[in-house]
C-alpha cells in the first residue's frame, strides 16, 4: 500500500478577528505559505489545531475551500472532516473532495460512547461517499473514543479507502502493534509531538504536527536524520526541540501556536472561547523557548 | 437557597423520522404528555438523552421552542443549552429564556481540555446573559471534563445564577462532598441512574433521569419512599427497578428509551447516526425487563 | 446462608514500642478491651489497620494468638491471614483456627498480577486447609488485584467455606451487583468508611472499620438507625462522623488510629517504617475532629 | 556521574523443586553461567523475575549469597533488596554488601500507599546503611507506588549513593523527562521489555531484562546496533524479538522464563503458588516463538 503522505505533515491554525467572531482568511493564507516555505511535506487543514470543532458549518466550508485553494497543490493536502453525526462527516468529506483535497482525516468524535459496530459503520459511510483516501485518526483525549489496534486494522480491512492511520494516544506500543499486526503494510502516522523521535524509529511514515508553524527546520531535520540513519544526530535534534514540543502540547495547541505566530510576525488572533489565548506567563516562556531555538 | 426543582426530573427524547433526517415534533409532544401524566416533577428537554449534541442549530431551536410550548408550564422546565463554544451556549440560553424555560442546564462540553479558569469564564458568560437559574452539570463521561467539587462550589459562589448542581460521575462521595463543603446550602441532583437510592439517601434534591419515559410510577415511588423515611420500602423499590436502570445506561439512553417508547405504543424513530438503535437481542431483553416490572 | 458476623466489626491496631521494633502486647490487650466495651459486634485482628503485612511470621503468630486469647470469645473474631504465598496463607489460616478464631479474612495479596484461575486456586487451597468460614476481601488499592463481582461469586460457589464478601473498592455499584447476582444470599460487608451509610442502605450485613477505636458510639448508632429504618437520623449521624472517617482514610489508618488512641489515653506507638506516624498538623486536625464529636 | 552498569543486565530466576517448596541452588548456578556465557554485561539476582517477594528471609539470604558466589565477579552484580519494611530492606542491603554485591536495587514496595516523605526516608535509611551504589526502581505495576520523575531526581540529589534509576512504567516520556531534568547526568535503565529499542534511542544506559535467559544474542545485538548508530539494523532486530518480549511480559516473567529454560535444557521448576507455571497452550506458543528465533 503506497501513499503520498510522509514526513512532516503540518497543521494549520484558523485565524480569527480579535474578538473571536470573524474568520481572518488572509492571515490563514499567510500561515499556509509559511508552512510550505518552511518545507513541510503536506498540510492538514481543520484538524484539532485548526479548531475545526468550534466552527459553524458555514465557517468550516469557507476555511476548507480557502485552504485548498491557497495550498494549490504545492504540497498534498489532507482535510479533517470529523463531525459528531455521520451525515455531517459525510457532507464535509464530499465538500473536501469537491474542492480538491488529496485525502481526508476522520476522528470518530463522540458524545455518546460508540460501540465498535457504530465506529465501523461511521467509517464505512464516509468511505462510501468519497473516492479519496482516508486517514483514520485515534485520539481518545479529544474524541472520548479509544480505538484499539485490532479495531483500527479491522476498519482498514473493511473500508477500502481507509489506508492510513494516525495514532495520538502517546503510547508507542500502539505503533509497534500496528507495525506487527499490520505486517508492515499499513502506513501509520504519529500525532503525539513528544513521541516524534521514537515514532519514526518505530517505523512511522510521518509526523502530523502543528510545530512547523514555529520551528519547521528543526522538525524537518529530525525526520531527515532518522531517514539517514543518523541516530546520534536525531537524538540531539529531538532533545533540542522537546521542551517546545512539550510546551505547545501542555499549553494547548491553538493557544500556543497562535501566540507563537503572533510573536514571529503573523498576528492570527486568539482561540475561540471557552478556550483562552496564552496568558502573560505562558507568552514569556514561549518567547524564551523560541529565542533559544533560533539562536542555536 | 430555594429551588422549585426537586424529585423526579424527566428527560425527553428527540423523535426522528425513520431515516433519522427529520424531526418528528408531534411524537415529541406525545412523549412530553406521557411524562407529565406519569407524574414527573419537572421536564428537561434537549439533554444527553435528547441528542441535543447531534442537532443543527436550527433543529435545536425548533425542539426547544416546541417542547416549552407543549410543557406549557404544567411542570417546571429546564433546558440543556450546552455547546462547544461559549457564544453558542449563550445563544441557546437566551433562546430558552425567551421561550419560557424556567431554568437552563449547562455541561462544559469540550474538544480541547478546559482549564478551571476557562470553565469558570464559560459559566460566567452564560450566567451574565440570562436571568434564569442555571443547573451546572458535571458528567466527564460525555463532556471529557471532570469538575472537582471545589471548582463546582467556586462557580456556585462566583456566578450568582448558578444555583443547582447535577452530578453524574457515579461516585457517591462527590455528593457527600457537595453536601459537606456546600454546608447543605447547594441543592444537588443525581444524574446517574444506578445511584438513585443512595443519592436520595445522601441528600440529593432530585433525580434527573430518562427512566420515567418507561417506568414513571416506580421512579416516583422510590422518591416518595425516601421522602417518607421508609427505608425498607425504598430499598425494595430500588432493587426492583435497578436491572432496567442498568440496562438503559449500558445500552445507551437514546437507543433504549426510544426502543422502549416504541414498545409501549409511541413510535419515535431511532437515534441519529453514528449511534445505532437497539438491536434485536437488546429489544428482547428490554421487552422482558418491562414485562416483569409491569406485572409486579 | 447465615453468618454470625453483622453490624460493626472493629479492626485492631498492632502496638509497637516507640522505635517500632518490639510488639507491645499489653497495649494491644487494652485496645481490644476498649473495642469490646465500646460495643463492637465482632473484632478483626491483623487486618490492614493491624499492619499484618509488616510483621514477621513470628510476630504475626504472637499477635494472632494474643488477640484471640484476649478477645476470649466475648465477641466473634475474624483474623486476616493474607500472605503473598499460598503456603504462607494456609499456614496462617491453620494457626488462626488452632487458636480459636471464628473466621478468617483473605485478601489475594499479589506481587505479580494474578489470573482468575490463580486467585480461585488460592482460595481453594486455603478453604481446603481449614474448617472455618472465610471472608473474601476485595481491596485493589492495597492488594493490587481487583476481583470483579462475577469472580467473587464464582469463588463463593466453588469454595464451600468462602461465605462472606468484604468489598472495599469504594464503588457502591459493586454492592448492588453482589446483591443482585448473589440473589440476596451472599452476605457482604463494607470496608470503605465513607460509604458506611450507603452500604447499609444497599443491604450490607456489616461495616468492617477501624473507626470504633475512636468513636464506637457513633459507628454503632449509625448501624442502629439504619436497622430501625430511621433514615433522617442515619443521615444526620453519617454526616456527623464523615469528616473523621475521611480523615482516617486519607491520613492512613495505622497512623491516624494510633495517634487517636494516644490522644485518648492509650499510647500504642507509631506505625512501622516506612510508614510515618501522624505529623503535628495531622495531630492537630485529628484532635479538633475528636473534640467536636465528643462535645456534640 | 559514571557507573559500571550498562548494556544488557540480566535477571536471574529462582529455581524451586517441583512442588515449589525447596530451593534448587545448583540449577540457579547453571542459569547464572548461561547468562554470563550468553554475554550479559551484568546480573541482577532476586528481582521481580527472581520471585524475591515470595521467599522467606532465610531463603532470600541463601539465594543472594549463592548467586554472588557463583557470579564470582565475572560480571558486575546488582541485588534487589526490596522489602515492605525499611528495617527489612536495610538488613538485606547490608547482607548483599557483605557478600560482595556491586550495587543494590530498591523498589519502594508498599502495602499502605507511601507519601513522598516516606519514600525519601526509606531510600535515605537504606543509603545510610551501605556503601554501595543504589539503583532506584520505579514500577507501579508491582509496587503500587508510582514515583514521578521530580521525586526520583529529588532522591538522587538527597541520597548520595542513589546513582542509577530504573524506569518500568512503560511510558517513554518518563525517560525523556529523566534525561532533560537530570541534565543528562543521571544514568537511567529501562525495565519495560517492549520499550527496549526506544529506551536506548532515548538515551538509556542499559536494559534490565529477563530475556537473556532465553535469547541473549538477540538482546545483545539490539544494544550493539544502537551503540553503533545502525538504526535500520536496530529496528529489524527489535521487531524480530518483540513477539517474544511481549509474550514473556504478558505471560508473567517467572512462569515464561522458567518454562523457556526447561525447554532449552535447564529444568528450574515452576513459580511458587499462587503464581502458576505456564499452561500447555502457553508452552506451545513459547516453543514456537523460540523455534522461530533460533532458526532465523
| C87 contacts in chain D (CB < 8 Å) | 20-21, 272-273
Cis amide leading into A274 (omega within 30): yes
pLDDT category at A21 given cuts 50, 70, 90 is confident
Q: Looking at residue A250, what is its pLDDT?
A: 95
Q: C231-251 and C253-263 helices cross at what angle (nearest 10)?
A: 110
Specify the number of domains making up chain D: 1
Tally of CB atoms within 10 A around D283: 18
In the predicted structure, residue B1 carries a pLDDT above the cut 60: no
Nearest to D46 by CA among D98, D103, D7, D4: D103
To 10 degrees, what angle do helices A116-129 and A149-158 make?
30
pLDDT recorded at residue D3: 64
Question: What is the rounded distance in angstroms from the CA atom of residue D55 to the CA atom of residue D52?
Answer: 6
Confidence at A281, pLDDT banded by 50, 70, 90: very high
The average confidence (pLDDT) of chain A is 96
In the 8-state DSSP scheme, what is residue B170? S
What is the tens place of the pLDDT at every residue in B76-105? 999 999 999 999 999 999 999 999 999 999
Cα separation, D55 vs D22, in Å, equals 10
Query: How far apart are alpha carbons A54 and C72 in whole angstroms?
Result: 70
The pLDDT of residue C200: 98
Helix axes B25-38, B57-71, angle to 10 degrees: 40
Q: Which domain holds residue C163?
A: 7-295
* Mean pLDDT value across residues B187-203: 98
Separation between Cα atoms, residue A119 and residue D261, nearest integer Å: 44
The predicted pLDDT at position D4 comes to: 83
pLDDT at B21 > cutoff 90: no
Tens digit of each residue's pLDDT, chain D (296 residues) = 346 899 999 999 999 987 778 999 999 999 999 999 999 999 999 999 999 999 999 999 999 999 999 999 999 999 999 999 999 999 999 999 999 999 999 999 989 999 999 999 999 999 999 999 999 999 999 998 999 999 999 999 999 999 999 999 999 999 999 999 999 999 999 999 999 999 999 999 999 999 999 999 999 999 999 999 999 999 999 999 999 999 999 999 999 999 999 999 999 999 999 999 999 999 999 999 999 998 65
CA angle D140, D141, D146 (to 5 degrees): 10
Mean pLDDT on B112-129: 97
Q: What is the pLDDT of residue C21?
A: 84
* pLDDT per residue as tens digits for the range B138-181: 999 999 899 999 999 999 999 999 999 999 999 999 999 999 99
Buried b / exposed e over B215-240, threshold 16 CB at 10 Å, is bbebbbbbbbbbeeebbebbbebbbb
Looking at beta carbons, which residues of chain D come within 8 Å of C54?
84-85, 111
d(CA B230, CA C226): 11
What does the alpha-carbon distance between residue A243 and residue A265 come to, in Å, rounded to a whole number?
A: 22
Of C84, C108, C115, the CB nearest to D54: C84
Answer whether A85 sits within 8 Å of B125, measured CB to CB. no
Instruction: Report residue A2's pLDDT band, with 50, 70 and 90 as the boundaries.
Output: very low
In the predicted structure, residue B296 carries a pLDDT above the cut 80 = no
Predicted pLDDT of residue C18: 79
The answer to whether the pTM exceeds 0.80 is yes
Q: What is the mean pLDDT of residues A163-174?
A: 97
Mean pLDDT of the region C167-191: 97
pLDDT digit string, tens, across residues C45-101: 999 999 999 999 999 999 999 999 999 999 999 999 999 999 999 999 999 999 999
> Can you give the CATH number for the domain in which C171 is found?
3.20.20.70
Report d(CA D220, CA C168) in Å as an integer: 46
pLDDT at site B18:
79
Instruction: Report whether pLDDT(C295) > 80.
Output: no
Asked if B63 is an interface residue toward chain C (Cβ–Cβ < 8 A), one would say no
Q: Of all residues in chain B, what percent carry a pLDDT higher than 90?
A: 95
On whether residue A256 sits in a domain, the answer given is yes
The DSSP H or E segment spanning B167 is strand B162-167
Question: How many residues does the structure list for chain B?
Answer: 296
Mutual orientation of helices D116-129 and D149-158 as an angle, nearest 10°?
Answer: 30
CB contacts, 8 Å: A229 with chain D: 229-232
Cβ–Cβ contact C195 with B under 8 A? yes
Q: Given this model, what pLDDT does residue A18 score?
A: 79
- A172/A190 Cα distance (integer angstroms): 9
Residue C278 belongs to a domain: yes
CA distance D92 to chain C (A): 14
Q: How many CA atoms lie within 13 A of C288 on its CB side?
A: 8
Task: Please tell me whether residue D137 adopts helix, strand or coil conformation.
Answer: strand
Any chain D CB within 8 A of the CB of C124?
no
Residue D210 lies in a domain: yes
pLDDT value of residue B219: 98
Look at A87 and B21 and tell me if their CB atoms are within 8 Å.
yes
Nearest by CB to residue B197, choosing from C171, C201, C235, is: C201
C75 shares contact with chain D (CB less than 8 Å): no
Three-state DSSP at B9 gives strand
Please tell me which of the candidates B201, B242, B243 has its beta carbon nearest to residue C231. B201
**Rounded distance between C-alpha atoms, residue A110 and residue C230, angstroms:** 44
A131-164, pLDDT tens digit by residue? 999 999 999 999 989 999 999 999 999 999 999 9
Dihedral, B118, B100, B36, B7 alpha carbons, nearest 10: 40
Is there a domain that residue A2 lies in?
no
- What whole-number percentage of chain B has pLDDT above 70? 98
Q: In what order do the strands lie in the sheet with D206-209?
A: D42-44, D7-11, D206-209, D188-190, D162-167, D134-138, D103-106, D78-80
Q: Is the pLDDT of residue A216 over 50?
A: yes
Q: Quick one: pLDDT at residue C24?
A: 97
pLDDT at C142 over 80: yes
Across the interface, whether the CB atoms of D243 and A170 are under 8 A apart is answered no
ipTM of the complex: 0.95
- Residues D121-161: pLDDT tens digits? 999 999 999 999 999 999 999 998 999 999 999 999 999 99
pLDDT value, residue B3:
64
**Backbone angles phi and psi of C51, in degrees to 5:** 55, 30
C284 in reach of chain B (CB within 8 A): no
What interhelical angle do B231-251 and B280-295 show, nearest 10? 160
Residues on chain B touching C179 (C-beta within 8 angstroms): 239
Rounded to a whole number, what is the largest CA-CA distance in chain C?
A: 52
What is the percent of chain C where pLDDT is above 70? 98
Handedness of CA C270, C275, C281, C283 (dihedral sign): negative
Residue among A111, A121, A142 whose CB faces B53 most closely: A111
Kindly list the distances between the CA atom of residue B26 and the CA atoms of A130, B17, B30, B50, C199, in Å, as whole numbers in the listed order. Answer: 36, 11, 6, 15, 44
d(CA D231, CA A230): 8
Which ranges in A109-161 belong to alpha helices (H)? 116-129, 140-143, 149-158
Residue C38 contacts residue C293 (beta carbons within 8 Å): no
Nearest partner of A47 among A119, A101, A114, judged by Cα: A101
The mean pLDDT of C243-254, rounded to a whole number, is 97
Asked if B216 and B39 touch (Cβ cutoff 8 Å), the reply is yes
For the stretch C195-225, pLDDT in tens is 999 999 999 999 999 999 999 999 999 999 9
Who contacts A250 (Cβ-Cβ below 8 Å, separation ≥6)? none
How far D272 CA sits from the closest chain A CA (Å)?
A: 30
Report pLDDT for C3: 64
φ/ψ of residue C182, rounded to 5: -85, 5
Please tell me the predicted confidence (pLDDT) of residue D18: 79
Is D149 an 8 Å CB contact of chain A? no
Task: Locate the DSSP E strands across D60-123.
Answer: 78-80, 103-106
Asked whether residue C40 is assigned to any structural domain, the reply reads yes
Mean of the per-residue pLDDT values for chain B?
A: 96
DSSP state letter for D129: H
Query: Among candidates B184, B205, B191, which has minimal Cα distance to B138?
Result: B191
Quickly state the pLDDT bin for A1 (edges 50, 70, 90): very low
Distance CA D140, CA D142 (A): 5
Residue A166 preceded by cis peptide, ω within 30: no
Give the contacts of B251 (CB within 8 A, at least 6 positions apart).
B278, B282, B286
Enumerate the H helices of C39-133 as residue ranges: 57-71, 86-98, 116-129
Q: Which residues contact D279 (CB under 8 A, 6 or more apart)?
A: none
Is the CB of B273 less than 8 angstroms away from the CB of A122?
A: yes
Please answer whether residues B210 and B192 qualify as being in contact, where contact means their C-beta atoms are separated by less than 8 angstroms: no
- Chain C residues in contact with B242 by the CB 8 A cut-off are 176, 180
Decide if C25 touches B, using CB distance below 8 A. no
- The pLDDT of residue D213 is 98
Check CB contact under 8 Å for A229 and D230. yes
Name, in order, each residue with C-beta under 8 angstroms of D168's C-beta and a sequence gap of 6 or more.
D137, D138, D139, D141, D190, D191, D192
B223 min Cα distance to partner chain A (Å): 27
Phi, psi of C12 (to 5 degrees): -90, 155
pLDDT at B190 over 60: yes
Distance CA(A271)–CA(A49), nearest Å, equals 10
CB-closest option in D173, D180, D198 to A201:
D198
* Residue A81 forms contact with B (CB below 8 Å): no
Sheet holding A188-190, edge to edge: A42-44, A7-11, A206-209, A188-190, A162-167, A134-138, A103-106, A78-80
Specify the pLDDT at position D296.
52
Beta carbons of C54 and C257 less than 8 angstroms apart: no
Sheet with strand C162-167: strands edge to edge: C42-44, C7-11, C206-209, C188-190, C162-167, C134-138, C103-106, C78-80
Q: D242 CB near a chain A CB, below 8 Å?
A: yes
Instruction: Give the distance from residue C261's alpha carbon to the nearest chain D alpha carbon, in angstroms.
Output: 20
The SS3 call for residue C66 is helix
**Tens digits of per-residue pLDDT, B33-63?**
999 999 999 999 999 999 999 999 999 999 9
Amino acid at each position: 500500500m503506497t501513499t503520498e503522505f510522509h514526513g512532516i505533515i503540518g497543521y494549520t491554525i484558523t485565524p480569527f478577528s480579535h474578538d473571536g467572531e470573524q474568520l481572518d482568511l488572509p492571515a490563514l493564507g499567510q500561515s499556509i505559505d509559511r508552512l510550505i516555505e518552511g518545507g513541510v511535506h503536506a498540510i492538514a487543514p481543520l484538524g484539532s489545531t485548526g479548531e475545526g470543532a468550534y466552527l459553524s458549518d458555514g465557517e468550516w466550508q469557507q476555511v476548507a475551500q480557502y485552504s485548498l485553494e491557497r495550498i494549490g497543490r504545492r504540497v498534498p493536502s489532507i482535510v479533517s472532516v470529523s463531525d459528531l453525526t455521520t451525515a455531517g462527516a459525510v457532507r464535509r468529506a464530499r465538500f473536501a473532495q469537491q474542492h480538491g483535497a488529496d485525502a481526508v482525516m476522520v476522528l470518530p468524535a463522540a458524545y455518546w460512547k460508540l460501540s465498535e459496530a457504530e465506529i465501523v459503520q461511521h467509517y464505512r459511510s464516509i468511505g462510501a461517499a468519497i473516492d479519496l483516501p482516508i486517514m483514520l485518526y485515534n485520539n481518545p483525549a479529544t474524541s472520548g473514543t479509544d480505538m484499539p489496534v485490532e479495531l483500527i486494522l479491522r476498519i482498514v480491512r473493511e473500508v477500502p479507502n481507509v489506508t492510513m492511520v494516525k495514532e495520538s494516544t502517546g503510547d508507542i506500543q500502539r505503533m509497534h502493534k500496528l507495525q506487527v499486526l499490520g505486517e508492515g503494510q499499513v502506513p501509520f502516522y504519529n500525532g503525539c509531538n513528544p513521541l516524534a523521535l521514537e515514532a519514526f524509529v518505530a517505523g512511522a511514515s510521518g509526523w502530523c504536527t502543528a510545530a512547523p508553524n514555529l520551528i519547521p527546520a528543526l522538525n524537518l531535520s529530525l525526520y531527515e536524520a532518522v531517514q539517514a540513519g543518523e541516530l546520534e544526530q536525531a537524538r540531539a535534534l529531538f532533545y533540542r526541540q522537546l521542551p517546545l514540543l512539550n510546551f505547545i502540547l501542555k499549553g494547548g495547541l491553538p493557544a500556543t501556536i497562535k501566540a507563537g505566530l503572533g510573536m514571529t510576525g503573523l498576528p492570527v488572533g486568539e482561540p475561540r472561547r471557552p478556550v483562552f489565548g496564552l496568558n502573560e506567563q505562558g507568552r514569556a516562556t514561549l518567547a524564551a523557548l523560541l529565542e533559544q531555538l533560533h539562536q542555536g
